[in-house]
Structures are given as C-alpha cells and as structure tokens.
C-alpha cells in the first residue's frame, strides 16, 4: 500500500523537511533503493552512501541537511526507520483461505478469517484466533491455542495444549511444547520424569527457525510478552522468560531457570538449571552460567563460568601479563641468590 512522506511524518511524530506528498512504497538500503523506497541515515559516516541513493525520502537526525531529499527528522533514526517499516511493510489484507488439503478436526475452532496453508494438520480442540495464518505443514496438537494475528511459517509443530498469545510469529521448523529432558535413574535404567506441564507464549513474541521450547514437567514453561528468540535456541522445561527479553541464536536455557524483564542473552550462551537473571541482566556471547547462579539486576557477565565483564577483562589482562611476571620472578631469584645484588 502506498504511503506519503507526510503520512509517515505524522505516524512517527517527525519533523518533515521537503515534499510531504513524496510517495513511499517500500524500505531499502541506500544502494538498493528505488526512488520510492524509504532509507535512513543512522550515522554521519554513512552520509555519502545516503546522499547518493536514488531514494527520495530519508529518516535522519535533526539538522541533517540533504539536498534533493525529503527528510523525516527523528531523535533515533534507526528506530524511526524500523517503526516506519512496520507500517510500510504491513502486509495487505489478502483473501483469506483455508487450503483444501489442510486437515482440520471437526472439534477445532477457527475464527472465520484464519488462513491455513496446504497440508497443515489441526487436531481436535485447537483454537485459532482471528486473522492468524497457519503455514504449510504446520502441526497443531490437540487442544493447542493460538491467539489473534499470529503467523506460523511452514512446518511449525505445536505439541498438545501449547498456548500462543496474540501477534506471535513463529519461524519454520520451530517445535513448541516438546517433552522436557528429565529422568530418574533406578533399577538399571533411566525412568522418564513426567513431562506433562504447560507451555505459554505471550503476545508479540517472535521465535526463530528450528528453535525448540519444551513444555513444563509438572508446572509451566512461560515466555512473556515481547520476548524475541533467535534460531536454534533451546528453552527447557519450567523456564520463565520475562517481558521483552532477547535470546540470540544457539543459546540454551536449562530447566527451571528464570530470566527477568529486558534481559539480553548473546549467542551460544549456556544457562544451567535453576539460574536467575534479574531484570536487565546481560550475558555475553558464549557465556556459561553455572547451576543455581544469580546474575544481579543490570549486571553484564562474560565467560565460563560467567563473571562480571570488568572482572573478566581484568583476569584476561592478568593472564596476558604472566610472561612478564615470570621474568620479574626470575630476576628477583637471581638477585636474591646474590645478596650483595643491588
């Protein structure tokens, strides 16, 4: 759908300098942009790239003079660009359809304007909210609940009774509600601890491709509103992740760990079981947080075992000074063997 620069300025609360009737039909990088694409200037060092772009409309910081371009001035141009993109790229209302090859159990409840792709399987007792789109090959197990305006890309699997909120996006191959990994050894073999708990995904969560999130064992796994989870992440039974937290790719969170609000977890981080990451904590890429550990509010940790970033850097610096220490030690030994040294 076409938009105008003036319309975007009002939507962003931006000051418009230039042509309020300029038409915006997409978003792009400066090099790939057509004249009707919106671009942004995030840093002064990109000024020339942006100035040379074919795009006629730019989101930029206040005071950015740019010849022959319409400028939307906002305090945080990258944020303004992302917010504008949410409007510009919003998918047009497509004709709703349920593919005739989708298998929908008679006891499933689909809102009338739901889209279902080919070969999707929707079991008994499933509920799908208004305007949600279920991709090809999705499997929604018995009793699963999907809120309004969700988007499941092809090949998403929900085990029985998994619950998704509204405006949730799940990428291809993700598995939600699989059995947790818990056993008790006895009589010469592992007995499975029951994995029959719940799994609840809040509103506006996004879940990456081939990510796996286990259901609770006896209690619940809970991913709160606004959480973003990258590809190939593992979230174990009984984990709770607070609102607006971010988990980068290939990170693993073990059983019964709790992350607060606004926690940031880098890629390939391992969080062992029964850990607590308080609100706003940050775990750097590849950090390893040992069993039962608490990371305090707003603290940034690094390394394995995870420690405060400052301490990590100091230790690494000390480690690099070891050759120097060894030399000073040898010198001292030489002197001390000759007491008349100095």
Does residue 25 bind a copy of itself (CB under 8 A)? Answer: no
Cα gap 302→310, rounded to integer Å: 9
Helix (H) or strand (E) holding 73: strand 70-73
The candidate with the shortest Cα–Cα distance to 238, out of 260, 254, 258, 216, is 216
Instruction: Pick the binder of a copy of itself from 10, 34, 48, 89 (CB under 8 A).
Output: 89
3-class secondary-structure state, position 6: helix
Instruction: Pick the binder of a copy of itself from 6, 172, 274, 309 (CB under 8 A).
Output: 172
Site string for a copy of itself, 258-277 (x = CB under 8 A): --------xxx-x-x-----
For this structure, is 237 an active site residue? yes
Which residues 6+ apart lie within 8 Å of 47 measured at CB?
41
Instruction: Pick the binder of a copy of itself from 29, 36, 276, 294 (CB under 8 A).
Output: 29
To the nearest whole angstrom, how small is the minimum distance from the Cβ of residue 204 to a copy of itself?
A: 7
How many beta carbons lie within 10 A of that of residue 100, not counting itself?
7
Site string for a copy of itself, 286-315 (x = CB under 8 A): x-x-x------------xxx--------xx
Residues 36-55 that bind a copy of itself (CB under 8 A): none
Dihedral sign, Cα of residue 142, residue 145, residue 148, residue 153: negative
DSSP string, 88-113: HTPPP-PPP-B-TT-EE-TT-EE-TT
To the nearest whole angstrom, how small is the minimum distance from the Cβ of residue 92 to a copy of itself?
A: 14
Does residue 252 bind a copy of itself (CB under 8 A)? Answer: yes
How many helices and strands in the chain, by DSSP H and E?
Answer: 5, 40
Does residue 201 bind a copy of itself (CB under 8 A)? Answer: no
Instruction: Pick the binder of a copy of itself from 101, 292, 296, 298 (CB under 8 A).
Output: 101
Instruction: Pick the binder of a copy of itself from 7, 19, 61, 119 (CB under 8 A).
Output: 119
To the nearest whole angstrom, how small is the minimum distance from the Cβ of residue 300 to a copy of itself?
A: 14
241-258: burial string, b at 16+ Cβ within 10 Å, e else: bbbbbbbbbbbbbbbbbb
Residue 118 is classified by DSSP as: T
Of 153, 171, 237, 244, the catalytic one is 237
Which positions are annotated as active-site residues?
237
């Amino acid at each position: 759908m076409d938009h105008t620069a003036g319309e975007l300025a009002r939507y962003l609360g931006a000051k418009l300098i230039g042509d309020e009737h300029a038409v915006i039909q997409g978003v792009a990088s400066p090099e790939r942009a057509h004249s009707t694409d919106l671009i942004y200037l995030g840093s002064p060092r990109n000024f020339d790239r942006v100035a040379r772009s074919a795009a006629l409309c730019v989101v930029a910081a206040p005071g950015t003079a740019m010849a022959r371009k319409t400028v939307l001035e906002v305090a945080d141009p990258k944020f303004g660009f992302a917010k504008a993109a949410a409007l510009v790229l919003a998918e047009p209302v497509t004709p709703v359809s349920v593919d005739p090859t989708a298998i929908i159990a008679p006891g499933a409840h689909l809102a009338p304007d739901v889209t279902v792709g080919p070969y999707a399987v929707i079991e008994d007792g499933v509920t799908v909210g208004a305007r949600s789109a279920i991709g090809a090959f999705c499997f929604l197990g018995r009793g699963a609940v999907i809120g309004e305006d969700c988007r499941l890309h092809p090949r998403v699997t929900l085990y029985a009774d998994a619950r998704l909120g509204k405006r949730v996006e799940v990428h291809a191959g993700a598995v939600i509600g699989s059995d947790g990994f818990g056993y008790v050894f006895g009589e010469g073999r592992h007995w499975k601890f029951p994995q029959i708990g719940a799994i609840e995904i809040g509103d506006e969560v996004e879940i990456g491709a081939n990510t796996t999130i286990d259901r609770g064992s006896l209690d619940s796994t809970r991913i709160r509103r606004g959480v973003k989870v990258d590809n190939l992440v593992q979230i174990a039974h009984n984990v709770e992740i607070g609102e607006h937290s971010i988990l980068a790719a290939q990170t693993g969170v073990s059983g019964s760990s709790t992350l607060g609000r606004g926690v940031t977890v880098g890629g390939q981080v391992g969080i062992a079981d029964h850990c607590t990451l308080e609100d706003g904590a940050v775990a750097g890429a590849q950090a390893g947080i040992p069993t039962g550990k608490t990371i305090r509010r707003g603290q940034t940790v690094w390394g394995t075992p995870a420690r405060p970033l400052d301490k990590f850097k100091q230790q690494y610096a000390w480690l690099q000074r070891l050759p120097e220490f060894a030399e000073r030690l040898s010198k001292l030994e030489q002197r001390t063997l000759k007491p008349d040294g100095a």
